[in-house]
Homo-oligomer: A and B are copies of this chain.
């Protein structure tokens, strides 16, 4: 009997045993989390409230989960489960409320739940400024706002809001976005003479289109879902759009993941009121105002280059105060508590009219 295949029944018994153990351990974990909260609260002054949510610690836990993961569940699924376990444990202490740029059902809500799990209350706000205000006033523990959107470029409102808001960046979230070439039920792959999509998606799939459909007309429309919708009544045409649009309009996939950059994604920032200690793999964001003179940006970036600090993003925005200055939004690797970053920031402060530190935070884990 020893090398015979297990039966359905014995496998289910094994699963039930495993579930029992998993449950016991999760409850033990929750008890430990409660004790952590007690220890933290005991260290507070009277009337002061301890901070229970630690972004850097969560990032470390998730990184370890992914590093040691041996499958069969993939790293992403496993990390998602641990996110939910941590979310449930944390909710025992402090049910968190998270303001986000609404309405409900948008990618920003998905980002909030990807980052905080589902044991939180998410509050949709009508504008980015309202999200910031909710956080500043303490009505929400954290806020989530889009900052780079692969179909709309940089979200300028978010950058502008950062210049006058009094919040700290505590984390970042990335949602991966894939593009597919889709056709209606009656269209044949070799008959495609027109391709519809949003301008940005064409840009993101240019190489692939040049290689596979060099002769097809590229017709820009207002959104990818608009492009997908047209396929219901168009022959000899294809649309570039995502999974959801393909499903809503019942389209066939001619080709999947046709974006030139496989890391095509939308990025969101988590804002809060506290500064986040180093998680070991961090980013820092600053706003720098420079006098409007030739070579200003080059001069500004030199100290980073010399210190060997990697820039992950630089955005330029005209200052709203007048034409005499430019604002640069700079993200770079490293935590503001490290010596090298401290030195660079000191150097930048000497060069610039004005520097605003937006915070150091763990790099997106998932």
Binding site for B on A (CB under 8 A): 5-8, 11-12, 14-16, 18-23, 25-36, 39-40, 57, 61, 64-65, 68-73, 77-78, 80-82, 84-85, 88-89, 91-92, 97, 103-106, 109, 118-119, 121, 123-125, 139, 243-244, 247-248, 250
- Interface pair A21/B15, CB less than 8 Å apart: no
Instruction: Identify which of B27, B103, B123 contacts A71 (C-beta below 8 A).
Output: B27
| Complex alpha-carbon distance, A69 and B72, angstroms | 27
* Additional A-B contact list (16), CB under 8 Å, known A21-B25, A103-B105, A124-B244: A6-B39, A12-B36, A15-B29, A15-B33, A15-B36, A19-B64, A19-B82, A20-B68, A22-B82, A27-B69, A27-B70, A27-B78, A31-B72, A34-B72, A77-B119, A80-B88
In contact, B243 and A121 (Cβ under 8 angstroms) = yes
Min C-beta distance of A275 to chain B, whole Å: 18
Min C-beta distance of A76 to chain B, whole Å: 10
For this complex, 23 residue pairs linking A to B, each with C-beta atoms less than 8 Å apart, are A5-B39, A7-B39, A15-B32, A19-B29, A19-B61, A22-B22, A22-B25, A22-B85, A23-B65, A23-B68, A26-B73, A27-B71, A27-B72, A30-B71, A72-B92, A73-B89, A77-B119, A80-B119, A81-B84, A97-B247, A118-B118, A123-B244, A125-B248
A19: chain B residues at CB < 8 Å are 29, 61, 64-65, 82
Contact between A32 and B8 (Cβ–Cβ < 8 Å)?
A: no
Contact B27 A22 (CB under 8 A): no
Q: A36-B11, A247-B97 are in contact. Are A81 and B88 (CB under 8 A)?
A: yes
B104, A77: Cβ atoms under 8 Å?
no
Copies assembled: 2
A205 to B36, CA, bound (A): 41
Distance, CA A104 to CA B124, complexed state (A): 14
Q: Which residues of B contact A139 (CB under 8 A)?
A: 250
**Chain B nearest CB: distance from A39 CB in Å?**
5
Question: Would B25 and A18 count as touching, CB distance under 8 A?
Answer: yes
* Docked CA distance A39–B8 (Å): 7
Min CB distance, A84 to chain B, in Å?
5
Check B25 against A72 for contact (C-beta < 8 Å): no
Residues of B within 8 A of A243 (CB): 121
Q: How far does the alpha carbon of A18 sit from the alpha carbon of B19 in the complex, in Å?
A: 15
- A-B pairs, top 7 by smallest CB distance, nearest first, are A105-B105, A104-B105, A123-B247, A77-B88, A18-B29, A30-B72, A30-B73
User: Nearest Cβ distance between residue A244 and chain B, in whole angstroms?
Assistant: 8
* Cβ contact within 8 Å between A123 and B248: yes
Q: CA–CA, A162 to B331, complex, Å?
A: 55
